[in-house]
Amino acid sequence: MSPSTRVPEQGVTSTVPLQDVSSTVRRDQARRLLPWVLGLVTVLAALALQSQLYSGQERTVATIFMFVALAEAWNLIGGFAGYASFGQVVFFGVGGYFTAVAISHWHFSFWVSLLLSGVVAALFATLIGIPLLRLKGHYFAVATLGVAEGMREIVTNLPDLTGGGAGITVPTVGNNATTAYLGNDGFYLLFLALAALSVLVAGLVARNKFGYALRAINQDEDAAAAMGINTTRAKVLAFALSGFITGLVGASYAFQQVTIFPERLFDVDITVLMIIMVVIGGSGTVLGPLLGAVALQFLSEFLRQNFTDLHTFILGGIIVVAVILLPQGLVNYVHEARRTKEYSLLANVRRYRL
């Protein structure tokens, strides 16, 4: 016999048993906690994994973590807000070079440099974001690309500060070293932490009022503004946030590589990889960039080891196929397929076709 709630009106009783109401509430709570629990489990699994890997494998997995962090960060501005930054690597490079210069020239410790690199990258993002985020679509993409390429040239042409084309080396041993080199184990943990941070930030933004604002801006910026959203502030904030995380990653990369060069730290291919990972995984979702980064890095490593000569060629082919079959990415495809019961990939190809 289940107790039922009694509504204090004449002879009217609610027909919903009390038990059912509380189980619905509990189900909702469980559903909301699930992603956090899963995330925690994943991090713990990654920690456990470390002891099972050789140092070479450790570096590979650390690189996967690095790209997870980069992809999730790009997703904030490119996926949620819909402003496809094609120059995202500039924050990577700015962060990396700031750390390298701070440790070599100013003798900061790595950890201080790391934090400052993130801040500097975020400030830079704010600076360029204010004028550039007024541009739409392709124009924004091209302008950010211009900034990245321009920054690379500037760094190359300031050899006294940055070592120019010859690169700069972070002192990791001896008297000049301010922080002990982290080694494979240390960098594994560092990149794991950055990946976790990036996913965490993406998850918080997605569920939050801010995430709604970004998605509204993505869909119809005029309507979003008409509903009271300060679109300039929201966009710049998203850009700065993505810049901050990307800067942290760049700083860590610089320390890991010890010697860095402008062509590498400002390489447009890094931006493109970020974008492909987000697109393949599912732009605008939290899980998408994560899956995309893991999948693509695995693939890239596999190809690099087994088809060394052809691996870039095959990668290009895979990009073409993936973009055509799954333009909205895996996670979005699964969501929609479940909703509309339409699973055919061929039908999916018709989505965006002329």
Partner 1 sequence: MSAVPVLETRGLGRHFGGLQAVADVSVSVPEGQVLGVIGPNGAGKSTFINLVTGHIKPTEGQVLIDGKDLTGARPWAIAHARVARTFQIVKPFRGMSVRENVAIGILYGPQGTNVMSRALKAADEVLEEVGIADMGDRPPGELSVADARRLEFAKALALRPRLLLLDEVMAGLRHTEIEPSLELIRKLKARGVTIIVVEHVMKAILAVSDQVLVLHQGKILTSGDPREVLSDPRVIEAYLGHRYAKRREGDS
Partner 2 sequence: MTAFLQATTYGLLQGGLLALVAVGFSLVWGVMNVVNLANGAFVILGAYIGWGMHQTFGLDPFLGMFVAAAVLFVIGYVMQRFLINLVVNGPIFITLLLTFGLDLLIVQGMNIAFSADYRGIKTSYASESLAIGSVRVPVGRLLAFALAIAITLILVAVVNRTRTGMSILATGMDRGAARLMGIRARHVYALTFGIAAALAGMAGVMIGTVGTFNPSAAAAFTLMSFVVAVLGGLGNMYGALVGGLVIGLVQAWGGQYLPGTWVNALAFLVLIVVLIARPTGLVGRAFYAARLEV
Judged by the rule CB under 8 A, the positions of this chain that interact with partner 2 are: 78, 82, 84, 86, 131-132, 134-135, 137-139, 141-143, 145-147, 149-150, 153-154, 156-157, 268, 272, 275-276, 279, 283, 309-310, 312-313, 315-320, 323-324, 327-328, 349, 351-354
| Cβ(189)–Cβ(61) below 8 Å | no
Q: Which is nearer to partner 2, 91 or 110 (CB)?
A: 91
Taking CB within 5 to 8 Å according to partner kind, which of partner 2, partner 1, none is near residue 209? partner 1
Which residue bears the tokens 């990653």? Answer: 249
Taking CB within 5 to 8 Å according to partner kind, which of partner 2, partner 1, none is near residue 229? partner 1
Taking CB within 5 to 8 Å according to partner kind, which of partner 2, partner 1, none is near residue 203? none
Q: In the numeric block, which tokens belong to residue 209?
A: 């009022």
Q: Which is nearer to partner 1, 33 or 161 (CB)?
A: 33
| Coil, strand or helix at 94 | helix
> What is the distance of C-alpha 50 from the center of its chain?
22
Quote the least distance from Cβ 229 to partner 1, whole Å.
Answer: 5
Q: 328: closest CA among 298, 294, 352, 354?
A: 352
| Cβ(87)–Cβ(144) below 8 Å | yes
Quote the least distance from Cβ 234 to partner 1, whole Å.
Answer: 9
Binding residues (CB under 8 A) for partner 1: these are: 207, 209, 212-213, 215-216, 218-220, 222-232, 284
| Cβ(271)–Cβ(187) below 8 Å | no
- How far apart are the C-alpha atoms of 352 and 218, rounded to whole Å? 18
Taking CB within 5 to 8 Å according to partner kind, which of partner 1, partner 2, none is near residue 183? none
Beta strands in the chain (DSSP E): 168-169, 259-260
Q: Which is nearer to partner 2, 62 or 70 (CB)?
A: 70
Q: In the numeric block, which tokens belong to residue 9?
A: 């009106």
Taking CB within 5 to 8 Å according to partner kind, which of partner 1, partner 2, none is near residue 320? partner 2
